[in-house]
Amino acid sequence: MNIDIIDYDSCSAAGVNVVALRNSLSQHTSGLIKNDLPGSELNTWIGRVKQIDAVDDLNQWQSRNNALAALGLEQGTLRNTLSGLQKKYGSSRIGLVMGSSTSSIDRTETAYTCLNENGELATAYQQPLVHNPHAPSLFVAHYTGIEGPALTINTACSSSAKVFATAARWLECNIVDAVLVGGVDTLCLSVLHGFNSLQLLSTNPCKPFDHHRDGINLGEASGFAILQRSGENENGSGIRLTGYGESSDAHHMSHPHPEGLGARMSMTQALQRAALEPEAIDYINLHGTASRANDLIEGQLVSDLFPKTTLCSSTKAWMGHTLGAAGITEAIITMDVLNTNVIPGSKNLETLDEALNFSITATDQHKVCQHVMTNSFGFGGNNCTLLFSKVR
């Protein structure tokens, strides 16, 4: 594969941009707080991005989800990089692929509490382009002026990992000359109480892969990356998407396949596409939600497929599980390891689950990495693995 990452940035409770995220990771400062979502009294921890509240000028596009997307797009050099590509190729040759699982359901929730006397949506909430599963891409296209093909992927927690695979195919087929990929999901009552009904939430800060883990924390995030065919931009990040794997085992609505069938397939596909052996992978950012079943199955797969020298961690204890934005958030953390040479530890890990045996620690590790991998496994058995490599 010859797809370069030429820019990226992240916005979450762990940091409003990638520089702040690096600081949070290095200082082991979590963005998780006790649940303070209006209308919810659940005893859990969440990763809420409070800066979203100041983004209230989107007019007919207003929603918490769109506000977080807008906030994320203003970070770093994303807008400048995108503007340069639009001038070079034209906006119709720039593609857009977004991942989300909630879209703007937060706005829809509020709309139904503000019905008029006829039981109809109040005027302010009559937003057909917002109450829409495709809302993330519709809004980002509007916000950035992208006029090329636009797609929104909703495959639960693998949504914004799969955007990279779709973008790579578009570029390889010469459908477009560059692609903005991203993901955005925000906290809302439907999501928080939905996961609570599945008995998946923890009342404590989450502890991925720990023997005493007892559930997940939810968060919100947006993240973006810009992809281009290799050799067409000399100002890139020095990072290349060298492999990806996608699978769907469709074993159960919410429980992973007991033997990790689909997860194994996505990891092996990524290695095969990159023409790399497992021994070549320096670091894996694990899906690592801190649920009993998911962590056990993923950890056993990693032990089976990779040597003990492959360093691993889960970073969800910094910002929570950001659902449809988890893929892009953790892809950015993984890519950034190639630039910082710092592998983040697995925060809150005290005692590794005795059923697991692989290289994971709570402390950071310093290593010059060449090839790194990230896993995103979603409900319904939707799995995606991404593999990034340093090219200079």
Q: What digits encode the pLDDT tens for the residues 262-290? A: 899 999 999 999 999 999 999 999 999 99
Give the pLDDT score at 29: 96
Give the pLDDT score at 259: 73
What sign results for the dihedral spanned by CA atoms 189, 190, 191, 196?
A: positive
Residue ranges making up the domain that contains 197: 3-390
Give the pLDDT score at 42: 97
In 3D space, the residue among 136, 152, 101, 164 whose CA is nearest the CA of residue 321 turns out to be: 101
- Kindly state the helix (H) or strand (E) to which residue 221 belongs, with its residue range: strand 221-229
> How far is Cα 272 from Cα 244, in angstroms, rounded to an integer?
9
Low-confidence ranges of the chain (pLDDT < 70): 1, 234, 252-255, 392
Count of residues for the chain? 392
Give the pLDDT score at 378: 83
Measured in degrees and rounded to the nearest 5, phi and psi for residue 114 equal: -125, 35
Measure Cα distances from 304 to 199, 223, 260, 301, 372 in Å. Answer: 29, 31, 11, 5, 18
Q: What's 178's domain CATH number? A: 3.40.47.10
Query: Active-site residue numbers?
Result: 157, 287, 321
Give the pLDDT score at 255: 67
Domain total in the chain: 1
Which amino acid type is present at position 205?
A: P
Q: Mention every residue, 6+ apart, whose C-beta is less than 8 A from residue 319.
A: 12, 13, 14, 30, 31, 32, 47, 219, 221, 329
Predicted TM-score (pTM) of this structure: 0.96
